[in-house]
């Protein structure tokens, strides 16, 4: 009986240590293995000065002034991002609308950018 208990104890010890054969990596080793962008290329987004709701009102007013019928458009995306190709692009809200029933047509999406000063930019469609 003792031999049986000893062999069960050895078996359980072997099973328990089987999953721990490799040394756990330290936290700094784990960080160094993650590929990331250099910190000089990462620019954190600031806190928006214009709220999402207010920026949406600016964009809707712009569309209405341009003769668009809001009842024919569906808002499909809104994001806080940077706009422009310059070295230090300004933060802005980006809205994307899609005309009802035109999901498959090229150019059916309409993008507007609202900057933190309330200015609305309608980029040219290419």
pLDDT at 102: 63
Helix (H) or strand (E) holding 51: none
Burial class, 120, CB count within 10 angstroms (exposed 0-12 / middle 13-18 / buried 19+)? buried
- Kindly indicate the confidence band of residue 1, based on its pLDDT and cuts at 50, 70 and 90: very low
pLDDT at 37: 55
Closest to 83 measured CA to CA, from 57, 45, 47, 37: 45
Q: Per-residue pLDDT for 9 more than 60?
A: no
Q: What is the mean pLDDT of residues 8-37?
A: 52
pLDDT at 13: 54
C-alpha–C-alpha distance, residues 6 and 72, integer Å: 78
35-86 per-position pLDDT tens digit: 555 666 667 778 889 999 999 999 999 999 998 888 888 999 999 999 877 7
């Amino acid at each position: 009986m003792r031999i049986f208990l000893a062999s069960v104890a050895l078996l359980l010890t072997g099973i328990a240590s089987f999953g721990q054969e490799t040394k756990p990596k330290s936290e700094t080793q784990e960080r160094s293995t993650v590929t990331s962008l250099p910190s000089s290329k990462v620019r954190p987004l600031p806190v928006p000065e214009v709220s999402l709701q207010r920026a949406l009102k600016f964009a809707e007013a712009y569309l209405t002034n341009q003769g668009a019928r809001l009842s024919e458009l569906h808002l499909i995306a809104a994001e806080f991002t940077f706009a422009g190709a310059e070295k230090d692009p300004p933060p802005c809200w980006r809205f994307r609308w899609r005309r009802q029933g035109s999901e498959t047509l090229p150019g059916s999406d309409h993008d507007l950018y609202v900057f933190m000063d309330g200015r609305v930019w309608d980029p040219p469609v290419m």
